[in-house]
């Protein structure tokens, strides 16, 4: 949510930002909120005037009673009561305006960073840089579920019987590899100075609407029936929600945390052939990183965060690239975002394995996360980034470490987490 003061002073900038995101259907919101905001400010001014008048009259009542002028005092009491009645109606109007203004402001997208490329959708995202040499081996790479099945590492049929499509059983060495990657990612981030955290896996609705747009919530979140609770789609939701309504001390900033959680997503929409298996699923696990910091430090942290993901993947010998998200592909609360994509030698293209975003003060305004300043409190900036999200990470891992005889090589950084195992061999049929 952007600053209402900024919108008042720069409505054309806000409208151009909406146009740059190809959301012209939201342009009318700017004029609507300006009109409501004007009425709201008038109502608040009237309320201040009424309270001031009431206080002045109330002060007279005591003096008149002391002077024995009871009738005059009673007249003023009646006048004060009329003001109280008028004030009650005015305060009700103020509250209605407050709710209406906030409702519209929640729908107006955050101001994008000036460097964000203008484009309609993800097809116009811009490659920034490649890391590592993408290799296509002289032999065929099987589909990832076929590789897993050759290692007795996945059971999709049983999962369908138990939970339906979009779920899986990971078993044996594949399950161990999955956990090993998460454990390595955890320690990798701890070694970067981040605090490890396991958050709640459910959050209340006021946290949900604080961390994401209504459109994202409807497309992603599972609601717990009969309770004001939602299953998290990523631990970022819980982690940012941790600071809800807090006034933070400057000396404690930045907060740098890495969190583990299972994630639950509806994943609405049609799934293509490359989204079979474990590419797009309803339940998965993820290691996340979040930062809450001073506004002037957020873009420095932004560059650090995505670079950590690149470093992690390269340490596991997986080629990756960074892809700048264009305006039309940028979620409403984000000011700037970059995807990290891993190389798929089977598909001979890159696919998304992580996303880094700077939300500036958009989430902080929704959740009331402020920093105590010498000249008044101000809103913090929040950032989030994927460290690693198996099992999608397993697709990149298995394809890039698949050998012609069907074995999977394990990079050295994972040996301690795999009990010294250096390769996985397919089961003989």
Distance CA 110, CA 105 (A): 10
Q: What is the mean pLDDT of residues 383-412?
A: 95
Distance CA 287, CA 235 (A): 8
Structure confidence by residue, pLDDT tens digits, 114-148: 999 999 999 999 999 999 999 999 999 999 999 99
Which pTM was predicted?
0.90
122-424: CATH, from 3.30.930.10, 3.40.50.300, 3.20.20.70, 3.10.20.30: 3.30.930.10
Contacts of 55 (CB under 8 A, 6+ apart): none
For residue 67, give the DSSP letter: T
Q: Is residue 93 packed enough to be buried (19+ CB in 10 Å), middle (13-18) or exposed (0-12)?
A: middle
- Under CATH, which number does the domain 4-105 receive? 1.10.287.40
Kindly list the domain boundaries of the chain, sorted by start residue: 4-105, 122-424
Q: What is the mean pLDDT of residues 276-300?
A: 92
* Structure-token pair, residue 204: 């209340």
> How many residues comprise the chain?
429
Token pair 């729908």 is found at 107
Q: Is residue 429 packed enough to be buried (19+ CB in 10 Å), middle (13-18) or exposed (0-12)?
A: exposed
H runs (alpha helix) in 334-391:
362-367
* Structure-token pair, residue 89: 């109606």
Outline where DSSP puts E strands in 118-253: 126-131, 154-155, 169-170, 195-197, 202-203, 222-223, 230-231, 247-249
- Which pLDDT score, from 0 to 100, does residue 270 have? 40
| Higher pLDDT, residue 266 or 404 | 404
- Which pLDDT score, from 0 to 100, does residue 272 have? 47
């Amino acid at each position: 949510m952007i600053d209402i003061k900024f919108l008042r002073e720069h409505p054309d900038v806000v409208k151009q930002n909406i146009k740059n995101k190809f959301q012209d259907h939201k342009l009318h919101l700017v004029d609507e909120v300006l009109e409501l905001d004007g009425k709201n400010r008038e109502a608040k001014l009237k309320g201040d005037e009424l309270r001031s008048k009431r206080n002045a009259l109330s002060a007279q009542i005591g003096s008149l009673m002391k002077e024995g002028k009871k009738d005059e005092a009673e007249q003023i009491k009646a006048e004060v009561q009329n003001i109280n009645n008028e004030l009650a109606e005015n305060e009700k109007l103020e509250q209605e305006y407050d709710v209406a203004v906030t409702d519209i402001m929640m729908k107006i997208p955050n101001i994008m960073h000036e460097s964000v490329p203008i484009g309609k959708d993800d097809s116009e995202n811009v490659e920034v840089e490649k890391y590592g040499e993408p290799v296509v081996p002289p032999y065929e790479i099987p589909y990832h579920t076929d590789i897993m099945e050759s290692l007795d590492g996945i059971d999709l049929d049983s999962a369908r019987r138990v939970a339906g499509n979009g779920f899986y059983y990971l078993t044996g060495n594949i399950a161990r590899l999955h956990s090993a990657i998460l454990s390595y990612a955890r320690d990798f981030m701890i070694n970067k100075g981040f605090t490890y955290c396991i958050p709640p896996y459910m959050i209340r609705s006021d946290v949900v609407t604080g961390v994401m747009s209504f459109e994202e919530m409807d497309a992603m979140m599972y609601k717990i029936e009969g309770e004001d609770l939602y299953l998290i789609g990523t631990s970022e939701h819980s982690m940012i929600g941790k600071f809800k309504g807090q006034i933070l001390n400057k000396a404690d900033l930045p907060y740098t945390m890495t969190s583990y959680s299972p994630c639950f997503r509806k994943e609405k929409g049609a799934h293509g052939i490359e989204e079979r298996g474990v590419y797009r699923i309803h339940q998965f696990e993820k290691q996340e990183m979040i930062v809450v910091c001073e506004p002037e430090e957020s873009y420095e942290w932004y560059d650090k965060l995505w670079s950590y993901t690149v470093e992690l993947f390269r340490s596991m010998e997986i080629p990756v690239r960074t892809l700048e998200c264009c305006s039309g592909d940028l979620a409403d609360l984000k000011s700037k975002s970059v995807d990290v994509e891993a190389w798929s030698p089977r598909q001979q293209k890159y696919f998304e394995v992580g996303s880094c975003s700077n939300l500036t003060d958009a989430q902080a305004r929704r959740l009331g996360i402020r920093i105590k300043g010498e000249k008044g409190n101000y809103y913090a900036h929040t950032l989030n980034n994927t460290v690693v999200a198996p099992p999608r990470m397993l697709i990149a891992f298995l394809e890039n470490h698949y050998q012609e005889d069907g074995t999977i090589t394990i990079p050295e950084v994972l040996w301690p987490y795999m009990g010294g195992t250096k390769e996985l061999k397919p089961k003989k049929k």
